[in-house]
Copies of this chain bind each other. A is one copy, B any other.
Amino acid sequence: MQLDERKQEILKAIINNYFETALPVGSRTISKQYNLGVSPATIRNEMSDLEELGFIIQPHASAGRIPSDKGYRLYVDMVMQLQKAEYRKLVYLEELKASAGRIEDLLKIIAKRLAEETNYATLISTPQYKKTKIKNIQLVEVSSQDLLVIVVAERNQVKDSLIHLEQPIHQELLTRLSVCINQELKGMTLEEINLDCIHRIKGNNAQEQRIMSEVLDVIFKAIRQIDEADIFTYGAANMMKLPEFQDVGKASSIMKALEQEEILEDIINTTFESDDGNVKIVIGEENNIQDLRDLSLITTSYHINGEKAGAIAIIGPKRMDYVNTISNLRMLIKDVDELLTQLSRR
C-alpha cells in the first residue's frame, strides 16, 4: 500500500491536532478542522490503512488515533525538508560576549536560556579536550611540597590541578623538569598522552627518577582529569507541566532519569560521536534509554575553530514543537560556534 497525498494529509492533520491537544484525534475532528473535502467515513477508511501501516495507533477500540514513533518520524522528515533556515541572531549572545566569563559559565547560561525559551529540558556538555594540543605546561610552586600544574592548551583552554608531593622539590630541579616536560609533551593532544610516553620521559632522566616519576604520575592524572567533560541540565521541571506527564509515575521516572549521570553521558556521547554538523532528532524508542521512551531528543554538537567540541540536547515530549525548536537550536549553534571560536582565538 502506498502513502498517497491524501493519506499524508490525514497523517499530518492527526499529528498537528495531537500536537495541540495531546488527545487522540478522531475522524470527525479532522473532517471539520482541516477541509480535505471528504467525509469522516472516508477519513476513517484512510485512518484504518494508516494504522495498518504502523503510522498511527488506537489507544483503545473506541478512541481516536495518536501518532506512533514511525508516524512522528515520517512527519518530521517531511517537515524538515520544507523547512528553510531563517536566521535571526539570538539577543542574549551579545551580552554573553561582553561578559569576560569562562567557557563553562557561558555554556551554563546558554543551556538555561534555551530551557526557558523552549520550555523543554536542556542538556549541555563542556568542551572535550581530547583532540586539543598542549601549548605548554607550567609548574608553579605553591609551597615546598605543593605544585600547581597548569596545562594551557591550543585554544587557550586552561586547566589547573594542585598536586601534593611526598618530598619537597628544589627550584632548580623544577625548572629542569619543566623544560623537559614541555619538550616532550608540547604539541601532543591530550588523548595522545598515555602511560607509554610518560614512561619515555621518565627513562630519559635516570638521575632523578624517583621524584620525576612522582611528578609525572600526578601530571598524567591531572591531564586525565582535565579530559573529563561536565554535563549540565536545566528545565527538567518543565516536563511536569505537560499533560502527558500528569501521571506522577511517569514524571518521576523522567526526573530520575535526568538525574542519572550515565544517562546524560550516554545522550551526550551519542550526539558527539554521530556528529555531522546537522541537528539530529531522536523520537521515542528510537533511543535505547528505557526511561526516556516517552520523550524525543533534539541534539547537535557545537564547535570550536571548526572542530566539534561538545554537545547540546533538548529533551521534550514526543509531540514537541520540532520545527521551531530545531530552527532555534540551529541558530543558537551557529552563534555559539562563532562565539566560542572568537573566545578561543583572542
Contact B135 A102 (CB under 8 A): no
Residues of B within 8 A of A163 (CB): 100
Q: How far is the CB of A81 from chain B (nearest CB, A)?
A: 36
Residues of B within 8 A of A221 (CB): 100
Contact B150 A156 (CB under 8 A): no
Q: How many of A's residues come within 8 Å of B, CB to CB?
A: 41
Residues of B within 8 A of A235 (CB): 259
**Which one of B102, B248, B256, B346 contacts A161 once the chains associate, using CB atoms below 8 Å?**
B102
In the complex where A140-B138, A248-B248 touch, is A145 in contact with B346 (Cβ < 8 A)? yes
Q: Would you call A164 an interface residue if the criterion is a C-beta within 8 Å of the partner chain's C-beta atoms?
A: yes
Residue of B nearest to A100 (CB): B221
Q: Would you call A96 an interface residue if the criterion is a C-beta within 8 Å of the partner chain's C-beta atoms?
A: no
Contact A156 B146 (CB under 8 A): yes
Q: Would you call A251 an interface residue if the criterion is a C-beta within 8 Å of the partner chain's C-beta atoms?
A: yes
Residue of B nearest to A254 (CB): B237
In the complex where A236-B255, A255-B255, A259-B236 touch, is A150 in contact with B146 (Cβ < 8 A)? no
Whole-angstrom distance between the alpha carbons of A143 and B156 in the complex?
9
As for how many copies of this chain the complex holds, the number is 2
Q: Would you call A199 an interface residue if the criterion is a C-beta within 8 Å of the partner chain's C-beta atoms?
A: no
In the complex where A148-B158, A346-B145 touch, is A252 in contact with B236 (Cβ < 8 A)? no
Residues of B within 8 A of A225 (CB): 101
In the complex where A251-B240, A252-B240 touch, is A346 in contact with B164 (Cβ < 8 A)? yes
Whole-angstrom distance between the alpha carbons of A246 and B135 in the complex?
54
Q: Would you call A234 an interface residue if the criterion is a C-beta within 8 Å of the partner chain's C-beta atoms?
A: yes
Whole-angstrom distance between the alpha carbons of A259 and B121 in the complex?
11
For window 161-191 of A, CB contacts with B under 8 Å fall at: 161-164
**Which one of B142, B160, B255 contacts A135 once the chains associate, using CB atoms below 8 Å?**
B142
Q: Would you call A229 an interface residue if the criterion is a C-beta within 8 Å of the partner chain's C-beta atoms?
A: no
Q: How far is the CB of A40 from chain B (nearest CB, A)?
A: 34
Q: Would you call A152 an interface residue if the criterion is a C-beta within 8 Å of the partner chain's C-beta atoms?
A: yes
Pairs A–B under 8 Å by Cβ, sample size 22: A100-B163, A100-B218, A101-B225, A102-B161, A136-B142, A138-B148, A140-B140, A142-B158, A145-B346, A148-B158, A150-B160, A156-B162, A158-B162, A234-B259, A235-B259, A236-B259, A237-B255, A240-B252, A240-B256, A241-B252, A245-B248, A248-B251
Extra contacts, 20 of them, besides A142-B152, A145-B346, A240-B255 (Cβ < 8 A), are A100-B163, A102-B162, A135-B142, A136-B142, A138-B140, A140-B150, A142-B156, A146-B156, A148-B150, A148-B152, A150-B150, A150-B160, A158-B162, A237-B256, A237-B259, A240-B252, A248-B251, A251-B251, A251-B252, A255-B255
